[in-house]
Chains A and B, each alone.
Chain A
Amino acid sequence: MSENLVEARGLTKKFDDFVAVDAIDFDIKKGEAFGFLGPNGAGKTSTMKMITTVSPITDGKMTVFGLDPNTQGRAIRSRLGVVPQEDNLDLELTVAENLFIYGRYHDMKKSEINPRIDDLLDFAQLSERRDSRVEPLSGGMKRRLTIARALINDPDLIILDEPTTGLDPQARHLLWDRLYRLKRDGATLIITTHYMDEAEQLCDRLVVMDEGRIVAEGSPRQLIDEYAPREVIELRFQEGEKDGAALKLEGIANRSEILADRILLYTDDADTTQERLHNRGIHPEQVLVRRSTLEDVFLKLTGRRLID
């Protein structure tokens, strides 16, 4: 049996006349990690804010834990952990105090909160910084603290809006590791991101959003299989040679994308395609063969890249 924690039908958010979220449908099952992948302005944050009941729904229907966000927002929020896109840790408070006040907001007793803070600081690898101010922490530490804060009330659903944007690769990997642990322990996660590798790593299922609409949904593997052939050959050319090569690509691969700086060839068999390139006298300066990713799916669906 799979229980849906969130169900949305025709969910819409308008700011005056501007439609930020355009009648989207989705279900989020208990225990899964569900992703919203999309470029800037796709409507990811607007959707998260409606789920967390901090932004009123303009139109459509949604339930969270079977409750109505319009009238039962407080009951919903008491079971959520929220990691907003923009850190809003309280810089006037210490690391531990930031967790403490959220425990208090969630009506926990002081005797309950203190051991929980110890566990969470341990989880976030911040035990040493317990009594330090928040301001001097690194970006990765702040993000981990925000995640720890979201966990203070032992939430049934954790919402992470771009958890790793702006972090260096090392900090991202550490964060991913923490999110894996949450998943392994059975948490339900909603993650927004515009990094396809993040979605591939963390999400069981995801929707691809663009301009307020859902343009595809499935598991990362399904989406890649459905929308992008197995392999991608990236070709880079010397100044001025790209356009000439572009004319000779007919039938060389399943599909080609001509980007500003390079050409992408989508193919089920990279070796054969490379042979054909050679036979047609196309000699790129650089050739890179890789597995196709969600980025390619997105490109196929919208003709644009996720991150410009």
Chain B
Amino acid sequence: MTTLARSLRFAESEVIAYRRTWRGTVITSFVNPVLFLAAMGAGLGSLVDDGAGELGISYLAFVATGLLAASAMQNGAGDGSFPVMAGILWRKNFHGTITTPIGPAEIIYGRLIWGLARLTFVLVVFAVIAVAFGAIDLGPALLAIPPAVLTGLAFTTCITAWTLTQEDGRSLSTLFRFLIVPLFLFSGTFFPISQLPDYIEPIAYATPLFHGVELVRKITLPGADGSIVTGIPLWAHLVYLVAMLLIGLYLSIRLLDRRIRP
């Protein structure tokens, strides 16, 4: 068996388990983003502009594209946290798995493959809903899926690595409260970074979700001008996110090995 085949075998077992646990993920994966889209995009949007307001595009389109990346982050971060802690501590399936030909690296790859599939599905559903809202057109919506998935997976690997350094699950909800939620709010999802005080802007540039949001907007809203997106070239966002994904991946494998093969 090749590494890929073994990783797929592990992903397969996650799919079997997911058949029983998917209900618990519906709210965060599907319902919340749509509620945000309705409330912020359609509701608030009707206040701040009337169709194609000052931003040159509708606020609904602005929020929909931001939410696509932000939703990818939330799902990706979710995949890297609780299921990983479960694998080593609660469900303990990682410990049993490594007594078979599957090794720690393939557990990480397998989870990433599974995350890729799930994330793609979740984001396509969101994109279709956004199209139904009239927020964006179908073509650009589909084009936005790969960069959004990349954003999500970059979070998955980095948060997996972080989770593997934690003793138990207590710190995981803290992570969401103090990292994921602020990123969600201040990475340009709901308003352009340029609206932030000047001394905070550089911090926003350094955060990962900002690059995901920018990447999605630059691909889906080619007409967007400087008030909506920055002048940072596309490739810079790509490099940032790919680097984040790879560093997270490398660390996850090492940390998992150390954690479950003492």
Contacts and interface: CB of A to CB of B under 8 A. Distances in A.
Interface of A: 15, 52, 54-56, 73-74, 77-78, 80, 82, 84, 86, 88-93, 97, 100-102, 104-107, 149, 153
B101 A54 contact: no
A55 B16 CA distance: 28
Contacts of A90: 13, 17, 91, 93, 96
Interface string B1-32: 10001100110110011001100000000000
B170 interface: no
Contacts of A89: 96
5 contacts: A82-B99, A90-B17, A93-B13, A105-B6, A105-B13
Interface in B87-113: 91-93, 95-103
B139 interface: no
Which 3 A-B residue pairings sit nearest by Cβ, starting from the closest? Answer: A105-B100, A82-B99, A92-B17
Contact of B16 (A74, A101, A153): A101
A279 B99 CA distance: 61
Contacts of B103: 73-74
Q: Which label, helix, strand, loop or mixed, suits the secondary structure of the A interface? A: loop
A106 B1 CA distance: 9
A84 B99 contact: yes
Contacts of A80: 99
A93 B16 contact: yes
Contacts of B239: none
A55 B99 contact: no
B101 A74 contact: yes
A104 B13 contact: yes
Contact of B96 (A88, A104, A107, A153): A88
B262 interface: yes
A56 B99 CA distance: 13
A75 to B, nearest CB: 8
Nearest to B97: A105
B91 A104 contact: no
B101 A105 contact: yes
A91 B91 contact: yes
A102 B103 CA distance: 13
A216 to B, nearest CB: 28
Nearest to B1: A107
B98 A101 contact: no
B13 A88 contact: no
Contacts of B16: 93, 97, 100-101
Given A80-B99, A105-B102, A54 B17 contact: no
Contacts of B5: 107
Given A56-B261, A101-B12, A104-B12, A92 B21 contact: yes
Given A88-B92, A88-B96, A54 B20 contact: no
Contacts of A52: 99
Given A91-B91, A92-B17, A93-B17, A54 B98 contact: yes
Given A55-B262, A88-B92, A107 B101 contact: yes
Contacts of A153: 100
B39 interface: no
Contacts of A88: 92-93, 95-96
Contact of A54 (B9, B12, B93, B260): B260
A77 B101 contact: yes
B93 to A, nearest CB: 5
B91 A92 contact: yes
Nearest to A159: B99
A89 B262 CA distance: 20
B100 A77 contact: yes
Nearest to B95: A88
A80 B98 CA distance: 12
Contacts of A149: 96
A297 B261 CA distance: 34
Contacts of A105: 6, 9-10, 13, 97, 100-102
Given A77-B99, A90-B17, A104 B260 contact: no
B64 to A, nearest CB: 34
A73 B102 CA distance: 10
B262 to A, nearest CB: 6
Contacts of B262: 15, 55
Contact of B101 (A78, A84, A101): A78
A90 B260 CA distance: 16
Contacts of A77: 99-101
Contacts of A106: 100-101
Interface in B9-62: 9-10, 12-13, 16-17, 20-21
Contact of B9 (A84, A91, A92, A104): A104
Contacts of A55: 261-262
Nearest to B103: A74
B2 to A, nearest CB: 10
B256 to A, nearest CB: 12
Nearest to B13: A101
Nearest to A46: B262
Given A105-B101, A107-B5, 15 more contacts: A55-B261, A73-B103, A77-B101, A88-B93, A88-B96, A90-B17, A92-B21, A93-B13, A93-B17, A93-B20, A97-B16, A102-B96, A104-B12, A105-B10, A105-B100
